[in-house]
Structure 1
Amino acid sequence: MDSTIDWQLYRSFLAVLREGSLSAAARALGQAQPTLGRHIDALEAALGIPLFTRSQGGLLPTDAARALRPHAEAMSSHAAALERMASSQGDAPRGVVRITSSEVVGVEVLPPMLAELRRRHPAVTIELALSNRAQDLLQREADIAVRMLAPQQAQLIARPVGAIEIGLFAAPAYLAEHGEPASVDDLNKHSLIGFDQPSAFQREAAKRMSGMAREKFALRSDSDLAQLALLRAGAGLGFCQLPLARRDGLRRILPEHYALRLDTWISMHEDLRHNRACKAVFDALVEGMQHYAGHRPPDRPKSG
């Protein structure tokens, strides 16, 4: 096996894996299809193994290709991190910073903070990766994470920003039509909004909250944004972060029975502590999320 394989060959390999065909991978990378084909042939020759089989539906990865995928993805993450680090050098904050957060936080909470951040630091470019899957900061899939989960890795810098409360809510229009439940048993008369395929966290939360099993939900979705949209539209009762519910004028239902407080953290890899752009973004997110969670930071001392 050739030990000096060009990274570009792995990049093309990963694109074909993700897109399923040479033509789609070529469009994704902005390259010519014959070039991608030569890259795959060259990589197979260098590794001494077949990576794809041809079919009418496109290219099907072999077992060897599937085994190589996580390593190629790690290479891609590190290459992107290297580019972001290189772009951030200089005296003033500049360059690309990749933030990961849940869908709801990324869509509903972070935009005003990022708008203010860009006003302060226009040379900083933000990449926002929204996923309920916790992306790996150690593998540099992202630079900074906003998560309702305490980081466990010692190599991460982490700041707690307070606990965000989650409760059961309904839109006023829904309650005007269907009435307000006075007890947990009354929920059987109402439309509940919830998950479809539960995560480990949701299964654990359901154990502590009676009446919140999957079969009880009249409207099911694994998208938190879809659930929030249904709640706002008056489709039923659903869970929401307290600050968002207050902002939207939603009314809380049975708070003595349905309440979760989730500690929230901002994290980044310790290697980025001297990166001016990452530090500026990290500090802005800590300040913004503390304010959002209701734990405002102390006033800063006046200079001079």
Structure 2
Amino acid sequence: MNTSIDWQLYRSFLAVMQEGSLSGAARALGLAQPTLGRHIDALEAALGISLFTRSQGGLLPTDAAQALRPHADAMASHAAALERMASKQGDAPRGVVRVTASEIVGVEVLPTMLAALRRNHPAITIELVLSNRTQDLLQREADIAVRMTRPLQAQLIARAIGAIEVGLFAAPEYLAAQGEPIVAEDLDRHSLIGFDQASAFQREAAKSMPGLAREKFSLRSDNDLAQLALLRAGAGIGFCQLPLARRDGLQRLMPERYALRMETWITMHEDLRHNPACKTVFDTLVEGMRQYAESAKPG
């Protein structure tokens, strides 16, 4: 086996895995299809294994290709981290900073903060990764994360910004048409908005909120933004973060029974603590998220 295989060959391999065809991978990388095909042939020759079989639907990865993919993903993540780190060198805040957050926070909360950040620091470029999956900061999948769970890794810097409460809400027009539920049993005659496939967090939360199991939901989606859009549209009753609900004029229902408090943290790898760009973005998010959490408190 050739032990000095060009990273570009692995990059092409990963693109084919992601796109499912040579043509799609070539478009994604900005390469000619014959060039990308030669990369795959060269990688197979260097490794001494077959990576893909051809079918009418495109290229099918072999078991060997599936086994290699996590390592290729890790290589791509580290290569991207190296590029971001190189872009951030210097005393002034500049370069690329990769921020990850949940879909709701990334779409509904962070844009205002990031817009102000860019006005004040135009040399900083932000890559915003929206996922409800926790990105691995230790593997440098991102530089900074907004998390709803306390990070346990010692190598991470973490700042607590407080608890963001989640409650049960409905649009006023929905309640005007359907009536307001007063006790939990009243929810049986209402349209409820909720998940389709429960996450570990949702399963744990459901233990303290009987009556809100999956089979009770008339409108189901695992996309939090879709649930929020349904809630705003007056389609039914669902969960929402208090600051967002207050902003949208949604009406809270049975707060003494339906309430979740999500401790929220801004985290960053400790190796980035002295990097001007990362420190600037980190401090901006800490302050902005603290103000967001405070906005739902009484008074």
TM-score (norm 1): 0.96
Q: Which residue of 2 aligns with 1:117?
A: 117
1:65-104 equivalences in 2 (<5 Å): 65-104=65-104
* 1:78-129 Cα distance to aligned partner (Å, 9 max, x none): 0000000101112210100110000000000000000111111000000000
Q: Which residue of 2 aligns with 1:45?
A: 45
Q: Secondary structure at the match of 2:207?
A: helix
- Of the structure 1 ranges 239-248 and 286-295, higher mean CA displacement relative to structure 2 is found in 286-295
Q: Secondary structure at the match of 1:198?
A: coil
CA contact (8 A) 1:174 1:234 kept: yes
Q: Secondary structure at the match of 1:162?
A: strand
1:126-275 equivalences in 2 (<5 Å): 126-275=126-275
List alignment gaps of at least 5 residues for structure 1.
297-304
User: d(CA) in 2 for partners of 1:42 and 1:189?
Assistant: 63
List alignment gaps of at least 5 residues for structure 2.
none
* 1:245-304 Cα distance to aligned partner (Å, 9 max, x none): 0000000000011000010000011111111111100000000001101189xxxxxxxx
Q: Structure 2 vs 1, CA of residues 17 and 122 (structure 1 numbering), >3 Å: closer, same or farther?
A: same
Q: Which residue of 1 aligns with 2:29?
A: 29
Q: Which residue of 2 aligns with 1:281?
A: 281
Q: Secondary structure at the match of 2:54?
A: strand
Q: Secondary structure at the match of 1:132?
A: coil
Q: Which residue of 1 aligns with 2:58?
A: 58
User: d(CA) in 2 for partners of 1:71 and 1:295?
Assistant: 43
TM-score (norm 2): 0.98
* 1:121-145 Cα distance to aligned partner (Å, 9 max, x none): 0000000000000011111111100
Structure 1 position 18, deviation (Å): 0.2
Q: Secondary structure at the match of 1:265?
A: strand
CA contact (8 A) 1:124 1:277 kept: yes
Amino acid at match of 2:83: E
Q: Secondary structure at the match of 2:50?
A: coil
Amino acid at match of 2:201: F
CA contact (8 A) 2:243 2:295 kept: no
1:13-24 equivalences in 2 (<5 Å): 13-24=13-24
User: d(CA) in 1 for partners of 2:69 and 2:40?
Assistant: 14
Q: Secondary structure at the match of 1:208?
A: coil
Q: Structure 2 vs 1, CA of residues 205 and 103 (structure 1 numbering), >3 Å: closer, same or farther?
A: same
Q: Which residue of 2 aligns with 1:10?
A: 10
Amino acid at match of 1:263: E
User: d(CA) in 1 for partners of 2:66 and 2:39?
Assistant: 17
CA contact (8 A) 1:194 1:227 kept: yes
Q: Percent identity?
A: 80
Q: Which residue of 2 aligns with 1:301?
A: none
Amino acid at match of 1:200: A
User: d(CA) in 1 for partners of 2:87 and 2:194?
Assistant: 42
User: d(CA) in 2 for partners of 1:275 and 1:35?
Assistant: 38
Q: Structure 2 vs 1, CA of residues 265 and 295 (structure 1 numbering), >3 Å: closer, same or farther?
A: farther
User: d(CA) in 2 for partners of 1:295 and 1:174?
Assistant: 25
User: d(CA) in 1 for partners of 2:152 and 2:279?
Assistant: 21
CA contact (8 A) 1:162 1:295 kept: no
Amino acid at match of 1:30: G
Structure 1 position 210, deviation (Å): 1.2
User: d(CA) in 2 for partners of 1:56 and 1:234?
Assistant: 45
User: d(CA) in 1 for partners of 2:276 and 2:26?
Assistant: 35
Amino acid at match of 2:148: M
CA contact (8 A) 1:168 1:253 kept: yes
User: d(CA) in 1 for partners of 2:74 and 2:139?
Assistant: 6
User: d(CA) in 2 for partners of 1:69 and 1:159?
Assistant: 34
- What is the number of equivalent residue pairs in this alignment? 296
User: d(CA) in 1 for partners of 2:57 and 2:81?
Assistant: 34
- RMSD, aligned α-carbons: 1.0
